[in-house]
Amino acid sequence: MNAPCPQDATPIGAVTRRNWLIAGAALPFAASALAQEAPASSAASSPAAGSAAGSAPVSSACSASAATRHARDFILGADLSTLDAVERGGARFTTADGRSGTALQILRAAGINWARLRLWHTPINAADVIEGDRIVSRHGEPVGGGNNDLALTLALAKRIQAQGMKWLLDIHYSDFWTDPGKQAKPAAWARLSGKALQDAVERYTAEVLTALHRQGTDPDMIQVGNEINGGMLWPDGKTWRETPDEQIGGDDSFRALLAAGIRGVRATDRLRGARLPVMLHLAHTGDGQSGALFRRVYDQFEAAKLDYDVIGLSWYPYHHDDFTQLRANLRDLSDRYGKPLVVVETAYGWQPDNPGGGPAVFNREGAERGGYPATPQGQADMLRDLVQAVAAVPNGLGVFWWEPAWMNVPGAGWRTGDGNGWANQTWFDAQGRALPALKAFRESAPCR
């Protein structure tokens, strides 16, 4: 049986202002934000609770040389989509000096001011998952990887806002992972195409945002699609062919689907009484052509007059182009489009092996390619350099670390029936103790 989630009981050794000062950390926000995390079943997100979201942390250490015009609002973000699964698996977390708290408490006390949550349409296996002779999981079982449906997103949004954090909603428009190599339609939309699919995208987006609004947990930014280098909702919104005779919707259909999602966002602006910023998100590549890809795709978005506000990038130094090319792309995007830029996904390993055994996404080869030692300090140095690179361009808005709390515990694999190959890229070691990257993140942020 899975262990009860820590948020469903009184937190042990709750993080306090005194604890963090004893630990030698400058506390970056007011004491009112340090209330113990409310139980997920009873947390209420009142306007008062949300009013402190994104309040600028004040730290004794910061980067005074930043060029960004967004220093006061600079995002120090964490994708926490697997948090519920990790807690149910029994993970426990402590500060660097061993004081216990929930992951959210520790992250917020360390200066993290934004969270990111992915949303899958219906994360249930539409068929048996079989590889070779192995049945990985069965039809009707949860897909795993966090099982991020709307109900879970609502629950996590409550907890995030109760900590005084802003949050970014990342809608994948799929039942499972999407990235440049896969963008499957939800099973519920499998037979839809053309205007019927566009209407479903618009309606679903509006329904999700309406549900969040009724709960009192409006997101502070939204992604329409995830890593949409080659389109979304394939094959209808796919923009490239794997075989010469593959039937795809192409660029026009892709942009029409994006426009439908954005219309769903704009239809709910009246509920919030304010415009919700829309992010469109691409991933860097590893072939040295990231700059050309971003220009081609965002030029199309601009020509189509898509109503978006923020440019999002994925960049993993062990998988994508090097730092020189990232910096050049950030500068080009900032100058060319004049929109805020967020590196919305990044990570690096604090050791080269999976602490729970088995394969790891980041390994010794990745460390050689990434250019930083696979150590806690190497991880911190990489993050410091990245934050300063984003803050060095006029439109640099911030950075999100992808899944810093995805510990290696039972039931928290990347899919049902498999393990977690991400556990050496967290901000916590195998015992759940905070690593130096967490402090480095705060200290490398631009001075406010």
Instruction: Give whole-number Cα distances, 205 to 45, 118, 171, 173, 218, in Å.
Output: 21, 13, 8, 9, 13
Query: Can you tell me whether residue 83 is helix, strand or coil?
Result: helix
- Residue 239 to residue 228: CA distance in whole angstroms: 10
365 is catalytic: no
Catalytic residue among 37, 87, 202, 345: 345
Angle separating helix axes 436-444 and 376-391, nearest 10 degrees: 20
Encode 316-348 in three state secondary structure. CCCCCCCHHHHHHHHHHHHHHHCCCEEEEECCC
Catalytic residue among 202, 227, 403, 443: 227
Q: Which residue has the tokens 């630990």?
A: 23
Q: Are strands 341-345 and 75-79 parallel, antiparallel or unpaired?
A: unpaired
Residue 439: phi and psi, rounded to 5, are -70, -40
Alpha helices in 163-313 (DSSP H): 194-215, 250-266, 269-272, 290-303
Q: Which residue has the tokens 């239809």?
A: 267
Dihedral angle over CA of 301, 302, 305, 306, nearest 10: 40
- Residue 340 to residue 57: CA distance in whole angstroms: 20
Q: Which residue has the tokens 């350099």?
A: 385
Q: Closest Cα to residue 209, out of 159, 163, 277, 146?
A: 277
- Residue 441 to residue 387: CA distance in whole angstroms: 7
- Omega of the bond leading into 235 within 30 degrees of 0 (cis): yes
302 is catalytic: no
Q: Which residues are known to be catalytic?
A: 227, 345
